[in-house]
Every structure is written in structure tokens, then in C-alpha cells.
Chains A and B, each alone.
Chain A
Amino acid sequence: MTLIAAGVVILVCTVRGATDIGAGAKMFQAECAGCHGQRATGGLGPDLTRGAFRTAVDDAAMFRVIATGIPGSRMPGALGRHSAEDVWQLVGYVRSLGPAPMAAARTDTTADRQPSGESLMDAQRAAVVRASDDGNLIVRITTLHGAVHSGRRMDEDTFSVRLLDERGVLRSFERSSLRSIERLASNIDRQPTELDEIVQRLGTPTK
């Protein structure tokens, strides 16, 4: 993975100067608008104007998503039919649709904007939303030994589950060590107060 990341970083450096949002827009209309809508506000594919994405957390990740597609979805890869330069232009265009590019995604056109405290907080919030995206659930876990832990489910997979407990401690469990996982609440609407709390909790140490 690190080798791939290195390869992508090299491309970021070498092709960054060639980013042409106009060309990206044309490619978008030809290749992407069918699913994501002519104004990129979604259709079969998701709305791309939100600025923060679950899978494309930064430019390198978005390059990869566009280049190779997304497993388990109808999102195809573009690199078989387009050059890496084309894909970078598309990345530039899609980033330009968002309300406020994240720090890592900031392009030359936005470099003159000073990041305010508020936008930094927005980026942090976006990161937390992404980390807890699928589900955004409050769960109660009971281990085989009878210990009970409640908190926000951060991630869950075939064999394990991780949560941020009520005291702000990150905890990881193997499913085989659990008696039960109860889903207490699903916060699909992502109530701002609750998120703010977590953002505050996770965000403060960086200062």
C-alpha cells in the first residue's frame, strides 16, 4: 500500500500543474453526468457537490476512485479509457464543485483563501463523519465475560467491531469474544450537538 501511495504522490506532484478544470468539466459531462447528474447533484450515483466523500477523502484517494472505480458499486474505472492527466483534471473539476475544499485538497485557485478556524473545524468534522459513516450507530456491547461497553460504533467488519465509548476511549473487540451487540440508536440525521461533542473531544488535542 505504501508503494502505491508513493506512486500516487509522485503523480500528484508531477501532474498538479496540469489541472484544467474546464477540461475536467467536459470529461464529466461525457463520462459521469449519466449517473451523477449534469450538475453533479446525483442520480444513480451520489451527489458530488457536497465536498466531502466517504471514499475519496483527499485528492489522491479521489484519483484512485475515479481511476479504478469502486468495488461493489456501478462506478467504473476511467483509466482504461482515459489518461492519468484526464483523471487529474476530473479530480480538479469535482473538487471545484464542493462548498469548501479540505486542506489536503486545496488547489491553486483556492490558495489565497486563508483557512479560518471555522473551516478547519469543518474539515475535522468531516473527518469524524467519515470515520463513523456507515451506520453512525450507538451500540451496547456485552462481552462473554459480562463487561458492558456503550458508545458510538466507529467501524464494524466481518470479524470485529470498534467503538468510541462514553468516556471517549477507543475500544476494539473480536466478535468471537462478544455475547451481544445491541444497536441502541441510529443517528442517520447526524444530530449536530452530538457531533460537535465528538469533534470537540477529538479536535482539541491538536491545539
Chain B
Amino acid sequence: MIHLDRRTSMKRLVDGIVRALVVVGALTATGASAQGITLTIATHYTDEQRGPLTGCLREYERLNPGTAIVHRQLSYRDFLQTLFMSRMSGKPPDIYNLSTAWTAQLVESGALAVPPAAVTDFVVGNYLANTSETMTANGHVWGIPAEVDVYMLIYNKILFARAGIAKPPTNADEFVKDAASISKSNRQGQLTTAGFGFGPSPDQVVAPFLTLLNSNGGSLFSPDRKSTNLTSATARDALETEVRLFTTKGTSRGAAPNQFSSGSLGMMIVPNWYQKQLHQELGEHFDETVGVAPIPGGMNWRTVQYGFFWAVDATSQHPAEAWALLKWLNTARTPGGRSCVGDMLLDLGALTGNKDDLAASAADIGNPFMRPFVDALSSGRALPEVSIPHANEIKDLLSNYTERALLGMLSPEQALSEADNGIRLILRESE
């Protein structure tokens, strides 16, 4: 009797659990359909930087009931690492804002979703070719171009005038001479005013060298991207120019672009987004202080262009919705107006390859600061950064050896030869 009671109770308990599970399952399913989908976007932009975009995301949610959009901010330096970890954990974001330098690595690993034909057509028809080329690999355009930045020479007009220099340098010799003329040292031998400043990040160490290399008619990689041109005479000339900046006291390792606004830096080769920072720091003195000039590399000067693009993760559960959102964010909101992404980028002081956004931003990009950057981009003088596997590692290695030459620890030939060896090893891995 007791056993029977126990069996009956157990049966009732199991029945109850099964019914409860069915009810919970049904409720969950109903709830899920009512909740709709959630799209996660990962970018390196801070809350303040993506302000205009956030408003658009909320608007998109209102226009598309059932779609929720979550933003995840990742630091630029840790972006690939975090992206990798989130993919390992099975919870990657749906949408990424990626550096174009990583295209090859991410495409090779199958991390990115192939965009639908409509998105590819949208990119081909609406963006400057040199911005979409950097995210093209294996016959596909892997997303929608986003921020574009171009390096140019920014100089302090006041310091130039004080040094009796009428115009910014146009070639390597003038560059070195002007930097030395502007520099001032204290009695301890420290530069209190530096003619030129660079670094401290690997990007900012390498970029000036690459602009001079490009201006000399060189390029970092061979056309097949299996070796470098670092042992060429053009590369040596470019690095020697930078070394001369050090030996003539035109700069020192401590002179960095963040000192520009304090009036202790004559020149720096930096991207266009410095505009906002300089405006904030210099205020009403911006126009009388800041000048923009071509890279001092002679008549055939060239510069470096780098960028970002929007992509969708290959494992996203909602690729169609993700691409729809991206297309909406990058389409002009009103005829003749700008897109949401365009609003954010122009507010940041960044450039865009979106033709509609460029056309609608005459006032923002037509000012004396931005005009040279836009001209460099549209004239083809800005050469896109090459997308190659292990791009970050290659940049770090080149930065390490460049720095050794600048600080006199290695001769330019030795440094470039060592860098060439190291980079070849990395490139060979990808074969």
C-alpha cells in the first residue's frame, strides 16, 4: 500500500513536471516571438563618439518593432582579441565595425558573412572605389565602408612664423631643416619645442615612415604580398629622412602629437580626426594656429589612407536583418541629406567614402583643415593600407625596428633588413 502510494505520488510528480515544462516552453516560445530579435553591434567608438548613431539605432527600433539593438564597445587595441573570444564562447556580435587592415585575416578564417547582392551593389554604386577596394577579397566586397582617415602634415603656423619660415616644407630636406629650425632645447638638452613629433603607438610610429616611402614611389609590400620592399633604396631614403630629424635635433623620442596644442610641437603627420581634438584644445585659436599641408615628399607626394568597414558575423542568427540595418544606417535619411553613419563620422572629424555623404557635407569638408584631406582621398594620392594576415603583428615589428633606427641603435639599412626578415617569416606562414 505504501509502495503503491509512493508510485502514485512519483507518477503525479513526473506528470506535474512534464506539464510545467510544456507550459513554460509554450510561454517561452510566445515570449520569444513577442520579444523579436536582438542585434548586437560591436564598435570601438565611445558613447560620446557614437552619439549621432545611437539616436538612429533607437529610431530604427521604433520603425521596426520586434528588433532590439545592443551596442558593445570594444577597445581598438583589444578588438580582434575580444572578437576572437566572443566567437570562441559562441556569442559573437552580429555586426562589427572592423579595420580594413584585418579583412584578409578575417576572410581567410571564415569569420565574416558574405553580403547579399543588394548590399554589394549598394557599396559599388555609392562609395569611392578606393574605400571599397580595401575590403574586397576573394572576389567579394565583405561589407559597407565606414570611417576613412588620411594622414597629412599638420603644422603650427605660429611656430613657423616665429622661426621665420614662410611655408610648410615640400620635400625631405626642407622637412628636416624646418624641424631643426623650430626646435628649442633647455639647458638640460631636453627639447622644450620639437620641430616634429610622432608616436607613441606603433601606428603613429609607422605611418610617417610609410607616407615618406609612398612619396618616394615605394610601397611596403611587393605586388604579390609575399615579400616587402624594405631593403629598397626608396625605403632606406624614407627612414634616413626620419633619422636625420633625430640627429639634427628636429625631434626626440618624447615629442608626441598630443603636445601640439600646447605649442611645443611644430609638425606632425597624423590623420584627419585630429581636427576635433585640436578644435577642443585650441578653441578660438584653432585657425591662427593649425595649418594642413601635403606630405613633404616632393611633387609626387603620396600618403596613407586607412579605414573601417561594417561587416556581419558568419554565425549571426539574423544576417538578413543585420544587413538591412546596416544599409539603412548608411543611406541618406532625406534626399540630399546625410546617412546616420555619415552624421557620426563627420561629427568625429573623420572622412567617409559614401558619395552622398560627401556631397551633403560641403560645409564640413570644405573648410581649410579638411579640404586637403578630402583632396588627397579623391585624387588618389592617399594609398589604402594593404590588408594582409597578421597586419597588427607586422606593424608592431616594423615599428620596433623603425624605432631602433631612429634612436641610433641600428643603422637604417640594418633596421630595414631585420624588419624585412621578420615580416617575410610572417608572410611565409600565410602561403
- A and B form one complex: no
The interface of chain A, by Cβ under 8 A from chain B, is none
The interface of chain B, by Cβ under 8 A from chain A, is none
